């Protein structure tokens, strides 16, 4: 049975990781993923370089060993030739020494050939490993390029998402038409205006139904009637002659020495 404390700790870590992922910046997460892919490719490239370097080193060792084998073969043949020449000359002791030398070269040749075969086997394995390493590096380079292209696409989508969020927030605020802070929205302003307008209508209605309101109505009607009458006089004078003075309800009495008609300025000066 699992330890409850361990299970609880794992659950807490998973929950914490989920919360961090939820609040993490997607742009930073994308960059972290790309950096990790680049580091992986760099490590793989270094490993492949080491494998290829080992294969190259084995090639150089094999080339030197093959040269050593050819040299030992040549030395063994030369010793046998000299032994045959000494024996033909009747010098058996010298011929024996050359044959012993040839045997020594042959022994060294066997060991050198064995080493050469081992190097060939190791070189073949290193060659296959180098080819696999090259292929792995190439495939990982392609994956890295795909990730870089995907990063560009994701960053573009992220910017589009941010702009869409800003547009949505703006549209939402426009639909509500409410300013931040203590500033009232348009609905509140509309209610205030309608309340003031209704109050003004009520006051006007009360004023019209009061005595003062009826008196003002009579005065306004009399003034309108006088204006209409005066307009008719003007129209009649335009068709019949000079303008007549407006009728006066009470004309002041004439005193002695007071002219009945106004005297023009020229006539007054002559007088």
Instruction: List the Cα angle 115/119/123 in 5-degree steps.
Output: 175
Residues 164 and 193 in one domain: no
93 touches 57 (CB < 8 A): no
In a shared domain, residues 202 and 80: no
Total tally of structural domains belonging to the chain: 2
HSE at residue 240, side-chain half, CA atoms within 13 A, is 8
Residue that has been written with the tokens 């990790």 in this structure: 36
Q: How far apart are the first and last CA of the chain?
A: 140
Task: Please check whether residues 35 and 156 belong to one and the same domain.
Answer: yes
Mean pLDDT for each consecutive 10-residue tract of the chain (271 residues)? 61 57 74 88 93 94 95 94 92 92 94 95 94 92 89 85 83 62 69 84 73 75 86 84 49 43 42 34
Angle at 215 between CA 210 and CA 217, to 5 degrees: 95
Q: Do 157 and 23 share a domain, yes or no?
A: yes
Residues 117 and 208 in one domain: no
Q: How many CB atoms lie within 10 A of CB 66?
A: 15
- pTM attached to this predicted model: 0.50
In a domain, 179, yes or no: no
Query: Is 174 part of any domain?
Result: no
The CA radius of gyration of the chain, in Å to the nearest whole number, is: 61
pLDDT value of position 254: 41
Residue 102 lies in a domain: yes
Query: Would 230 be classed as within a structural domain?
Result: yes
Based on the fold, state whether residues 110 and 234 are members of the same structural domain.
no
Same structural domain for residues 102 and 138? Answer: yes
**Amino acid 250: pLDDT:** 43
- Please report, for the domain that includes residue 117, its CATH number: 1.10.287
Residue 177 forms part of a structural domain: no
Looking at the fold, whether 154 and 55 belong to one and the same domain comes out as yes
Say if residue 138 is in the same domain as residue 194: no
Residue 105 domain-assigned (yes or no): yes
> End of a domain among 140, 168, 196?
168
* 107 in the same domain as 39: yes
Structural domain range at position 233: 188-239
> Does residue 105 share a domain with residue 212?
no
Residue 9 belongs to some domain of the structure: no
Distance CA 194, CA 188 (A): 10
Q: Does residue 72 sit within a domain?
A: yes
Q: Are 154 and 215 in a shared domain? A: no
Which CA distances in Å does 157 have to 138, 163, 165?
29, 10, 12
Nearest-10 crossing angle of helices 92-176, 26-88: 170
């Amino acid at each position: 049975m699992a330890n409850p404390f361990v299970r609880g700790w794992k659950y807490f870590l998973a929950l914490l990781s989920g919360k961090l992922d939820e609040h993490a910046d997607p742009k930073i997460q994308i960059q972290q993923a790309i950096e990790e892919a680049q580091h992986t490719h760099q490590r793989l490239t270094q490993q492949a370089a080491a494998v290829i370097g080992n294969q190259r080193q084995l090639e150089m060792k094999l080339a030197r060993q093959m040269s050593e084998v050819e040299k030992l073969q040549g030395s063994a043949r030369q010793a046998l030739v000299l032994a045959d020449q000494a024996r033909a000359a009747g010098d058996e002791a010298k011929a024996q020494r050359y044959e012993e030398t040839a045997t020594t070269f042959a022994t060294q040749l066997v060991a050198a050939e064995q080493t050469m075969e081992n190097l060939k086997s190791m070189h073949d394995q290193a060659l296959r490993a180098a080819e696999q390493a090259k292929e792995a590096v190439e495939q990982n380079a392609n994956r890295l390029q795909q990730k870089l292209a995907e990063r560009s696409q994701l960053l573009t989508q992220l910017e589009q998402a941010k702009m869409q969020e800003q547009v949505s927030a703006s549209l939402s605020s426009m639909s509500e038409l409410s300013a931040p802070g203590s500033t009232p929205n348009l609905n509140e302003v509309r209610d205030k205006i309608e309340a003031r307008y209704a109050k003004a209508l009520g006051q006007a209605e009360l004023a019209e139904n009061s005595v003062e309101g009826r008196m003002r109505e009579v005065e306004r009607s009399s003034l309108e009637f006088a204006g209409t009458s005066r307009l008719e006089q003007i129209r009649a004078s335009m068709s019949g002659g000079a303008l007549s003075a407006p009728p006066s309800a009470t004309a002041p009495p004439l005193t002695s020495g007071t002219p009945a008609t106004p005297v023009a300025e020229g006539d007054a000066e002559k007088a």
